[in-house]
Amino acid sequence: MKRLRESRPLRLGAIIGSIALLGSTAACGSSADTTSSTAAAGSSTKKVDSIAALVPKSIADKGTLTIAAATYPPAVIESATGGDPTGWDISNVQQIAAVMGLKVKIKIVPFNGIIAGLQAARYDGATGEIYATDERTETVTFVTNHESSDALMVPAGSKITSAGSETDLCGHTVAALLGSAEAKLASGLVGKCKSAGKDPITVKTFDSQASVNLALRGGRVEAAVSSASQIAYVMSQAKNQFSLIDLPWAPSYKTGLVLGRNADTAKFAKAIQAATDHLIENGELQKTLDEFNAGKGLIKKAEILPASAG
């Protein structure tokens, strides 16, 4: 993202959205590997030969995609029992791979290291509701599959009841994920509060979304900026503890599978684009979003960003 600039960790051990579990399960710095030979459980996704033929030989010969992901429910959900990660972005990348005739290995890693890992060719791609910002598309390539927007999460009964303008958050302490688009958005409010002659906003960043949520729950911050879907997920797990406040001035972002750049990226991106469009057209992507994300965020066609990368 949630949104990438680059960081969201790690092994949480339990579903990060469940506030009651966060304190005992967050353990920064570790990672996990999970290999999936098919699409998500219960999916009928099949290989499409015409799309598989688009996959570069270097990828096809490997047979397995190594995909980095940072825990960020409901896009990426780690199992409390150490099982395979789930979530709409995990399911979607598994389905994309299945269409291309490939397997998937998911590596749960800190969000802040994803872009660097792609640039160093440690992963074939990355997923997890990663925002396609102008800054990111200068160095990596996105194949979009979803659209997202930011919102504000506050404790139930908070004095913050609306944020119709950017300066409504002046004088408050706001949390965001380190390296994320939300952190950049919140930091941009510092100058706006000063220009408006209002009390300063304090922005605190944390290494994981778990830590962001825990800081809010513990009263160390008054609000947290995150994707609306992540907030909705937390609220569904922690009944009546938090409220969502819309940010009408915050931009919407396209999200998608992210690729490091090499000689095969342009060709591979087109294969992923074709697979994503196939899943949009046959309704599989909508089913995935219905299951994990209240059906929200479907796009009409996959795009390669920047366009020049395709």
pLDDT by residue for the chain (310 residues), tens only, comes to 444 443 333 333 333 333 433 422 222 233 456 554 444 444 578 999 999 999 999 999 999 999 999 989 999 998 888 889 999 999 999 999 999 999 999 999 988 889 999 999 999 999 999 999 999 999 999 999 999 999 999 999 999 999 999 999 999 999 999 889 999 999 999 999 999 999 999 999 998 888 999 999 999 999 999 999 999 899 988 889 999 999 999 999 999 999 999 999 999 999 999 999 999 999 999 999 999 998 989 999 999 999 877 6
Asked if 130 and 2 count as a contact pair (C-beta separation under 8 A), the reply is yes
> What are the respective helix, strand and coil percentages of the chain, to the nearest 5?
35, 25, 40
Tell me which amino acid residue 282 is: N
Q: Answer yes or no: are the C-beta atoms of 59 and 101 closer than 8 Å.
A: no
Q: What is the structure's pLDDT at 310? A: 67
C-alpha of 50 from chain center: 29
Cα-based distances in Å from 139 to 120, 133, 232: 12, 11, 31
The C-alpha R_g of the chain, in whole angstroms, comes to 19
Question: Which pTM value belongs to this model?
Answer: 0.80
158 neighbors 209 (Cβ within 8 angstroms): no
Identify the pLDDT of residue 76: 94
How many angstroms separate the CA atoms of 10 and 30, rounded?
Answer: 6
Structure tokens at 264: 């095969």
Structure-block tokens of residue 76? 């990426």
Secondary structure (3-state) at 218? coil
Helix (H/G/I), strand (E/B), else coil: 80: coil
Q: Do residues 183 and 197 make contact, with C-beta atoms less than 8 angstroms apart?
A: no
Q: Which amino acid is at 12?
A: L
Domain with CATH 3.40.190.10 in the chain: 19-147+253-309, 149-246
pLDDT of residue 65: 97
Pick from 130, 139, 131, 162: nearest CA to 247: 162
Could you tell me which residues come within 8 angstroms of residue 84 by beta carbon, excluding any fewer than 6 positions away? 34, 36, 106
CATH class of 19-147+253-309: alpha beta
- For residue 88, the model assigns a pLDDT of 96
Residue 160: CB partners within 8 Å, gap ≥ 6? 152, 154, 168, 169, 172, 222, 223, 245
State both tokens at 247: 């940010």
Q: Look up the CATH superfamily of 149-246.
A: Periplasmic binding protein-like II (3.40.190.10)
